[in-house]
């Protein structure tokens, strides 16, 4: 398959066009800087490509604005001195290499000690920390469920923790299953609690309508404050937070 690369500028926006033996035109905006790339079928004219981009200008600008507004944490190297967050508090990472099973421990109010075997690569060091975050959330969530389920008059059938790119939590009301984003371990507990109430409220109201908003506001009057805390801080490992 032959490909031809061509640069196009549409309304001041540089567009990378790649010609391919494909059927449909694909337009994408990519992090971190909102690069625009079009994969176009060989048979479509340059003018048609340009029109397709113009057609999507509003969407492209919105995507680019989203990337620009999103403060990103730099790629973590998991070395001593880095800042890492736990329950809304910033800790200084201290990496200790020792020949023992890996573990994480908080030291005082400012240090997060990561114990790993000598030569453990950054990715695995991060995995140790993520596993620790997961354990902490697993311990934090059950008492919150015990508190809020009776208050809302609902009961989940199952709940879990996973990494999600764009959501802090999710709920399948039919299955009565709730998921929490692993990143919540980095946020203050009231933020976790707010997300938990939000997801439980979906067991009573599936949609984000007025009834739903009233339900959440009745139980978490300061929800705006928590949503702001969740919205402004870097999500950590991904680009966006869709709300
Ligand atoms: Zn929701």
- Over the stretch 124-138, which tens digit does the pLDDT of each residue have? 999 999 999 999 999
Across residues 44-73, what is the average pLDDT? 83
- Please tell me the total number of residues recorded for the chain in this structure: 243
The pLDDT, as a whole number, for residue 217 is 96
* Angle in degrees, 0-180, between the axes of helices 57-69 and 46-55, rounded to the nearest 10: 60
| Contact between 134 and 182 (Cβ < 8 Å) | yes
* Predicted pLDDT of residue 144: 98
Q: Return the pLDDT at 235.
A: 46
Tens-place pLDDT, residues 161-188? 999 888 899 999 999 999 999 999 999 9
Encoded tokens for 195: 């997300």
Residue 238 reports pLDDT greater than 50: no
Cα 210 to averaged position of ligand 1 atoms, centre (Å): 12
For residue 231, report the distance from its CA to the centre of ligand 1, in Å: 14
Higher pLDDT, 26 or 195: 195
Taking all residues of the chain, what is their mean pLDDT, rounded to a whole number? 88
pLDDT at 4: 59
Query: For residue 201, how far is its CA from the centre of ligand 1 (angstroms)?
Result: 8
Spacing, Cα 160 to ligand 1 middle (Å): 16
Taking residues 65-72, report their average pLDDT. 72
Q: What is the pLDDT of residue 64?
A: 85
* Long-range pairs for 222-229: beta carbons < 8 A, 24 or more residues apart: 222/190, 223/194, 223/198, 226/188, 226/190, 226/191, 226/193, 226/194, 227/194, 229/88, 229/187, 229/188, 229/191
238 C-alpha vs ligand 1 centroid, how far in Å? 20
Q: What is the mean pLDDT of residues 85-94?
A: 95
Query: What's the CA-to-centroid distance between 90 and ligand 1, angstroms?
Result: 28
- Residue 100, pLDDT > 50, answer yes
Between residues 49 and 70, the one the model is more confident about: 49
Predicted local distance difference test score (pLDDT) of residue 142? 98
Distances (CA, A) of 236 to 79, 89, 226: 16, 14, 17
d(CA 175, CA 187): 27
Phi, psi of 53, rounded to the nearest 5 degrees: -70, -45
Q: What percent of the chain has pLDDT over 90?
A: 61
- Please give the distance, rounded to the nearest whole angstrom, from the Cα atom of residue 151 to the centre of ligand 1: 18
Give the global pTM: 0.67
At residue 14, the pLDDT reads 85
pLDDT at 224: 92
Beta bridge partners of 114: 95, 104
Please state whether beta strands 89-97 and 111-116 pair in parallel, antiparallel, or not at all (unpaired). Answer: parallel
CB 10 within 8 A of CB 29: no
129 vs 236: CA distance, rounded Å: 13
Compute the distance from residue 134 Cα to the ligand 1 centre, in Å.
Answer: 22
C-alpha distance across the termini of the chain, in Å: 40
Task: Evaluate if residue 209 carries a pLDDT over 90.
Answer: yes
Question: Would the pLDDT of 227 be above 50?
Answer: yes
State the residue for tokens 């404050």.
225
Bridge-based pairing state of the strands 103-107 and 111-116: antiparallel
Confidence of residue 192 (pLDDT cuts 50, 70, 90): very high
Please give the torsion angle defined by the CA atoms of residues 180, 185, 191 and 197, in that order, rounded to the nearest 10 degrees.
30
- Give distance in angstroms: CA of 243 to centre of ligand 1: 8
Supply the pLDDT for residue 72.
58
d(CA 205, CA 34): 36
The pLDDT of residue 112 is above 50: yes
Give me ligand 1 centre to Cα 198, in Å: 6
């Amino acid at each position: 398959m032959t490909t031809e690369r061509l640069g196009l500028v549409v309304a001041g926006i540089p567009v990378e066009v790649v010609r391919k033996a494909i059927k449909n035109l694909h337009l994408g905006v990519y992090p971190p800087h909102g690069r625009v790339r079009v994969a176009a079928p060989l048979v479509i004219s340059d003018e048609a490509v340009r029109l397709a981009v113009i057609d999507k200008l509003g969407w492209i600008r919105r995507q680019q604005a989203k990337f620009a507004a999103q403060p990103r944490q730099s790629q973590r190297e998991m070395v001593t001195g880095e800042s890492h967050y736990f329950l809304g508090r910033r800790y200084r990472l201290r990496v200790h290499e020792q020949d023992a099973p890996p573990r994480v421990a908080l030291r005082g109010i400012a240090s997060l000690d990561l114990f790993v075997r000598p030569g453990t690569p950054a990715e695995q060091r991060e995995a140790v920390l993520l596993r620790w975050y997961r354990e902490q959330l697993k311990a934090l969530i059950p008492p919150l469920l015990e508190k809020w389920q009776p208050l809302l008059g609902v009961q989940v059938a199952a709940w879990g923790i996973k990494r999600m790119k764009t959501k802090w939590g999710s709920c399948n009301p039919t299955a009565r299953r709730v998921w929490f984003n692993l990143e919540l371990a980095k946020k203050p507990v009231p933020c976790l609690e707010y997300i938990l109430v939000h997801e439980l409220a979906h067991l009573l109201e599936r949609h984000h309508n007025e009834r739903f908003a009233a339900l959440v506001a009745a139980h978490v009057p300061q929800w705006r404050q928590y949503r702001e805390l969740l919205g402004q801080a870097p999500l950590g490992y991904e680009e966006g937070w869709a709300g």
